[in-house]
Amino acid sequence: MTKSRLALLVAIVALVAAFFALDLGRFFSLEFFRSQQAAITGFHAAHPWQTAAAFFALYVAVTGLSLPGAAIMTLVAGAIFGLLWGTVIVSFASTIGATLAFLASRFLFRDGIQRKFGDKLRAIDAGMEKEGAFYLFTLRLVPVFPFFVINLVMGLTPMKARTFYWVSQVGMLLGTIAYVNAGTQIGRIESLKGILSPSLLLSFAALGVLPLVAKKIVDLLRARKVYARWPKPARFDRNMIVIGAGSAGLVSAYIAAAVKAKVTLIEKHRMGGDCLNTGCVPSKALIRSAKLLSQIHHAQRYGIRKAQAEFDFADLMERVQRVVSAIEPHDSAQRYTGLGVECIQGEAKITSPWSVEVKGAQGTQTLTTRAIVIAAGASPFVPPVPGIEEVGYVTSDTIWGLRALPRRLLVLGGGPIGCELTQCFARFGSKVTQVEMLPRLMVREDPEISALVMQSFRDDGIDVRVGHKARQFVVENGEKTLIAEHDGKDVRIGFDLLLCAVGRVANTSGYGLEELGIGTTRQRTVETNEFLETIYPNIFACGDVAGPFQFTHTAAHQAWYAAVNALFGKLKKFRADYSVIPWATFTDPEVARVGLNETEAKDKGIAYEVTTYGIDDLDRAIADSAAHGVVKVLTVPGRDRILGVTIVGEHAGDLIIEYIGAMKHGIGLNKILGTIHIYPTLAEANKYAAGNWKKAHVSRRTLQCLERYHAWMRG
């Protein structure tokens, strides 16, 4: 806790303790007021403004410090100032006092609570940001929880102080009027209990619940409105139709079949989608060959005087296809049919919220369904750079058809796909130039992580051109040339083949979204809410088409939510959980990440500490001649809770799994340090990083005590 926080806490505790120790509560009773009523009203008659100011200040102090007595003071306000002024004074004083308590609670405890339970509170915080004002209004009118508890708890939520103030003032107004009014007849009041009759309490409760109910009804009507123009079938052929049989679609359909729903999976192209056919699988197969070649090239590192590889690029690409074919059965229609999924080959189009038209070899058929899951994936984005169509290009979709190695390859794009393919082709012997508009490759990672990759690329002979903006493609003297802008000057880069890898854009047109009015986000993905629902509560989207991530594992993760919400949403809906999202780029060295990196922590204003461990020092890495890279862990300052990890090095994508598990299940660095890691493995790097954190956090005083203890033991 910071000094200022500690000082405030001590001051508040001292004031509250003094209140009780000196039994000041006795002054906040009906008996006391009645005994002093004549004197007080006399003073008020002589000094009206001073009395009002003093009363106001006292009221603010009582509510601000969450002391008992506000109810009695409200009655007293009625007795002294009458209904109008009593209400005005109490309404403002109580709201200001409540807001001070709210702010104090926020200042003292919110950061700590966020640090400890931030992940778990994310959903509640999001709900509060959206509907907090409604909840607060209800709580103010339905007196279930004491007001001081509401003030303190609300301070821990992300609600804006401004919102808290005005909702509290409006929400407490009726109760204030009722109490101040009762106070005007204070002589007749025997106890606080009788002031609000049960029927009055009930009316307040009804008023409090009203806005929430109204909001739910509006949501319901809005949902019904989108369906209004579509005739609903009396019955449905299926429980769920899935459009697209990539990672997201396959998992959605699998889950539906596993819970015995009738599900149809429609794929227009190849089962397995991008990941199997043009993405993860072929790229990783290619990377394996490239790595082997690199190892042969550096045979001396392994004590082998000379090693040579004889290969034909076409054979490498054929091997890639063999790998794809070997994995194909995992995603095949045959396998999924066996699992209980009806697989249809054809192009799907949503024709109403409950019907999908499929155009296939057998003609066109229309299927009806209770729910639809859109898993239509994404496609390579080709930027509209003048001349690009004239020079021609390949993308991650079409590169797999190449059988001749380009002599000079130009790769446009410094993201994961561009980087992986750049390194492969360089290692096969192409002269590769990689052009990136931004100042570094892999811009999502921290600068020094990008630098490690860029250094490795340069060691591989790759001409890395960052800060180069493609302006135009031309053919000059029969040579394909990129004119790029760098530092305000034109730079010309000749090439034989262009690989365009500047990102992927969701497939959102041509299958009914426009007709149904399903919108897209600024990132051009299908617009969904936290349940992955589109504006039609029975139509869901997941995977690359929904974003915000473009990975196979996130597509599969979302698919669970889409399928379960589609099938069981009427009973219970689940918010997609993005709290622990990992990924890896399979360059050499690999770069793997989970959670925050330093750049993001800074951008979001999240306090963090960094611990690193250099893999160059790791026994197994040295033995493998792979002694390079780093484990970089971000933790909550002073605590072992992990905020994020980046690993660069051999098998980083595998090593990071330990940290993914730790973050997911709330395990800190102390527990990782206390776990036996097999010697000698690369995974020991995780433990050593935890060890470095521990060393930095051992208290000096403890060490001094231990030193004295051992000295004493020696006699």
User: How many Cβ atoms sit within 10 Å of the Cβ of residue 645?
Assistant: 28
The one among 134, 551, 561, 608 contacting ligand FAD by CB under 6 A: 551
Q: How many residues does the chain have?
A: 715
**In angstroms, what is the minimal distance from the CB of 542 to ligand FAD?**
7
Instruction: Give the nearest distance from C-beta 345 to ligand FAD in angstroms.
Output: 9
Question: Which ranges of 65-110 would DSSP assign to H, the alpha helix?
Answer: 70-105
Decide: 123 and 220 in contact? Cβ < 8 Å.
Answer: no
- The nearest distance, CB 368 to ligand FAD, in angstroms, is 17
Residue of 507, 611, 686, 692 interacting with ligand FAD (CB under 6 A):
507
Q: What is the rounded distance in angstroms from the CA atom of residue 300 to the CA atom of residue 468?
A: 36
Would you say 129 or 654 has its CB closer to ligand FAD?
Answer: 654
Integer Rg of the chain from CA: 33
Cβ proximity to ligand FAD: between 283 and 538 the closer is 283
Q: Is 376 in the site for ligand FAD (CB under 6 A)?
A: yes
Residues 503, 505, 509: CA angle, nearest 5 degrees: 160
Q: Does 64 bind ligand FAD (CB under 6 A)?
A: no
Residues 6+ apart with CB under 8 A from 40: 33, 51, 80
Nearest-approach distance from CB 250 to ligand FAD, in angstroms: 7
CA–CA gap between residue 52 and residue 50 (Å, rounded): 5
Query: Shortest gap between Cβ of 476 and ligand FAD (angstroms)?
Result: 30
Closer residue to ligand FAD in complex, CB, 342/640:
342
Q: Are 63 and 19 in contact (CB under 8 A)?
A: no
Q: Determine, following the binding rule CB under 6 A, whether residue 541 of this chain makes contact with ligand FAD.
A: no
Q: Which of 5, 110, 116, 269 binds ligand FAD (CB under 6 A)?
A: 269
Q: How far apart are CA 435 and CA 544, in angstroms?
A: 25
- What residues numbered 621-680 form the site for ligand FAD, per CB under 6 A? none
User: Binding residue for ligand FAD (CB under 6 A) from 267, 357, 650, 684?
Assistant: 267
| HSE-CB for 56 with a 13 A CA cutoff | 17
Say whether residue 375 binds ligand FAD (CB under 6 A).
yes
The closest alpha carbon to 534, from 426, 394, 373, belongs to 373
Query: Does 537 contact ligand FAD by CB under 6 A?
Result: no
CB of 268 to ligand FAD, least distance (A): 4
Query: What is the footprint of ligand FAD within residues 404-443 (CB under 6 A)?
Result: 417
In this complex, which beta carbon is closest to ligand FAD, that of residue 120 or of residue 284?
284
Q: Within 167-186, which residues bind ligand FAD (CB under 6 A)?
A: none
* Residue in 243, 656, 669, 685 binding ligand FAD, rule: CB under 6 A: 243
**Sole window of 240-248, 285-293, 298-306, 423-431 interacting with ligand FAD (rule: CB under 6 A):** 240-248
CB of 599 to ligand FAD, least distance (A): 22
Q: Which of 87, 434, 552, 597 binds ligand FAD (CB under 6 A)?
A: 552
Q: Which of 175, 208, 246, 582 binds ligand FAD (CB under 6 A)?
A: 246
133, 248, 412, 636: residue in contact with ligand FAD (rule CB under 6 A): 248
Strand order of the sheet with strand 431-436? Answer: 463-466, 431-436, 408-412, 497-500
Which segment (319-327, 452-460, 540-548, 690-698) binds ligand FAD by CB under 6 A?
540-548
Strands in 609-614's sheet, in edge-to-edge order, are: 582-585, 590-595, 642-649, 630-635, 609-614
Identity of the residue, 67 or 266, whose beta carbon is nearer to ligand FAD in the bound complex: 266
Nearest to 331 by CA among 255, 269, 250, 257: 250
User: Total residues at the site for ligand FAD (CB under 6 A)?
Assistant: 37
> With binding defined as CB under 6 A, does residue 348 bind ligand FAD?
yes
Interface with ligand FAD, residue 543, by CB under 6 A: yes
Three-state DSSP class for residue 350: strand
The Cα 509–Cα 512 span in angstroms is 7
Closer by beta carbon to ligand FAD, 558 or else 692 = 558
Strands 469-476 and 630-635: unpaired
Q: Which is closer to ligand FAD, CB of 352 or CB of 396?
A: 396
Q: Element (H or E) spanning 50, and its range?
A: helix 48-64
| Binder among 104, 280, 453, 594 for ligand FAD (CB under 6 A) | 280
Q: Please list the residues that pair with 259 across neighbouring strands.
A: none
How near is the Cβ of 350 to ligand FAD at its closest, in Å? Answer: 9
Establish whether the linkage from the previous residue to 548 is cis, with ω within 30° of 0. Answer: yes
Establish if 268 lies at the interface with ligand FAD (CB under 6 A).
Answer: yes
Query: Contact with ligand FAD (CB under 6 A): which of 169, 550, 597, 611?
Result: 550
What distance in Å separates the CA atoms of residue 81 and residue 440, rounded to the nearest whole number? 69
Is 431 in contact with 407 (CB distance < 8 Å)?
yes
Instruction: Name the residue type at position 418.
Output: G
Least spacing, CB of residue 627 vs ligand FAD, in Å = 25
Q: Which C-beta is closer to ligand FAD: that of 514 or that of 619? A: 514
Query: Sign of the CA dihedral 350, 356, 361, 363?
Result: negative
Q: Exposure of 698 by Cβ count < 10 A (0-12 exposed, 13-18 middle, 19+ buried)?
A: exposed
**By CB under 6 A, is residue 511 in contact with ligand FAD?**
yes
- How buried is residue 454: exposed, middle or buried, by Cβ count under 10 Å (0-12/13-18/19+)? buried
Shortest distance, CB of residue 328 to ligand FAD, whole angstroms?
13
Binding mask 582-611 for ligand FAD (x = CB under 6 A): ----x-------------------------
Residue 561 is a binding residue for ligand FAD (CB under 6 A): no
Please report, to the nearest 10 degrees, the dihedral formed by the alpha carbons of residues 658, 663, 664, 670 taken in order.
Answer: 70
Which of 91, 274, 393, 618 is close enough to bind ligand FAD by CB under 6 A? 274
Cβ-based neighbour number of residue 182 at 10 Å = 20
Residue 315: which residues within 8 A CB-CB, separation 6 or more?
A: none
Which residue's CB is nearer to ligand FAD, number 288 or number 553?
A: 553
Q: Does 547 bind ligand FAD (CB under 6 A)?
A: no
Q: Any residues with CB less than 8 A from the CB of 222 and at least 6 apart, and which?
A: none
By the rule CB under 6 A, 618 interacts with ligand FAD:
no
For residue 166, count CB atoms less than 10 angstroms from its CB and return exposed for 0-12, middle for 13-18, buried for 19 or more: middle
| Span interacting with ligand FAD, options 82-90, 241-249, 287-295, 521-529, rule CB under 6 A | 241-249
DSSP state of 232: P
Q: 481 or 552, CB closer to ligand FAD?
A: 552
Q: Tell the smallest beta-carbon distance from residue 174 to ligand FAD (Å).
A: 52
Distance between CA atoms of residues 468 and 465, nearest Å: 6
Q: Which stretch binds ligand FAD (CB under 6 A): 169-177, 270-278, 407-415, 445-453?
A: 270-278
Query: What is the closest distance, in whole angstroms, from the C-beta atom of residue 246 to ligand FAD in the complex?
Result: 2
Helix pair 447-459, 416-428: axis angle to 10 deg: 20
Verify binding: residue 396, ligand FAD, rule CB under 6 A: yes
Which residue, 245 or 516, is less far from ligand FAD as judged by CB?
245
User: Cα(434)–Cα(373) distance, rounded to whole angstroms?
Assistant: 38
Closest approach, Cβ 459 to ligand FAD, in A, equals 23
Alpha-helical (H) ranges within 262-362 are 273-277, 280-297, 313-327, 333-339
Write out the residues near ligand FAD by the rule CB under 6 A.
243-249, 266-269, 273-275, 278-280, 283, 347-348, 375-378, 396, 417, 507, 511, 543-545, 550-553, 555, 586
